[in-house]
């Protein structure tokens, strides 16, 4: 479990999160794996099935995907509302913590 977890974080079913920090307004897709000590900044989207390597730092407003994950796009500012709605529609859950 992350050492620090921000607000409005959605974690898809079957995902494994071992990050040091997960910022606010982060969407982690189904089946994603977040490696140890990774740092995920605010307003980030991790695509389904992505594998974020240990110690990776993901900048704010990034979209990451792949195995291993890499930055493949940018989230427009204000795009967090779409993340929250999509997460609710996909049946994602908010981890307690």
pLDDT tens per residue across span 43-56: 999 999 999 999 99
Round to whole Å and give the CA distance between 91 and 97: 19
Is the pLDDT assigned to residue 1 strictly greater than 60?
A: no
Domain ranges of the chain: 4-89
- Name the more confident of 59 and 83: 59
Confidence of residue 31 (pLDDT cuts 50, 70, 90): very high
26 vs 84 pLDDT, higher one: 26
Antiparallel, parallel or unpaired: β 62-66 and 69-74: antiparallel
What's residue 94's pLDDT?
47
φ/ψ (deg, to 5) at 85: -65, -45
Among the listed residues 26, 43, 41, 31, the one whose alpha carbon sits nearest the alpha carbon of residue 67 = 31
Instruction: From the options 2.60.40.420, 2.40.110.10, 2.160.10.10, 2.70.70.10, give the CATH code of 4-89.
Output: 2.160.10.10
């Amino acid at each position: 479990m992350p050492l620090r977890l921000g607000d409005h974080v959605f974690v898809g079913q079957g995902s494994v999160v071992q990050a040091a920090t997960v910022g606010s307004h982060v969407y982690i897709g189904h089946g994603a794996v977040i490696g140890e000590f990774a740092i995920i900044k605010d307003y980030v989207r991790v695509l389904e099935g992505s594998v974020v390597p240990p110690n990776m730092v993901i900048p704010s407003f990034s979209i990451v995907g792949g195995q291993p994950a890499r930055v493949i796009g940018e989230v427009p500012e204000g795009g967090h509302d779409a993340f929250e709605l999509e997460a609710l529609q996909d049946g994602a859950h908010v981890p307690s913590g």
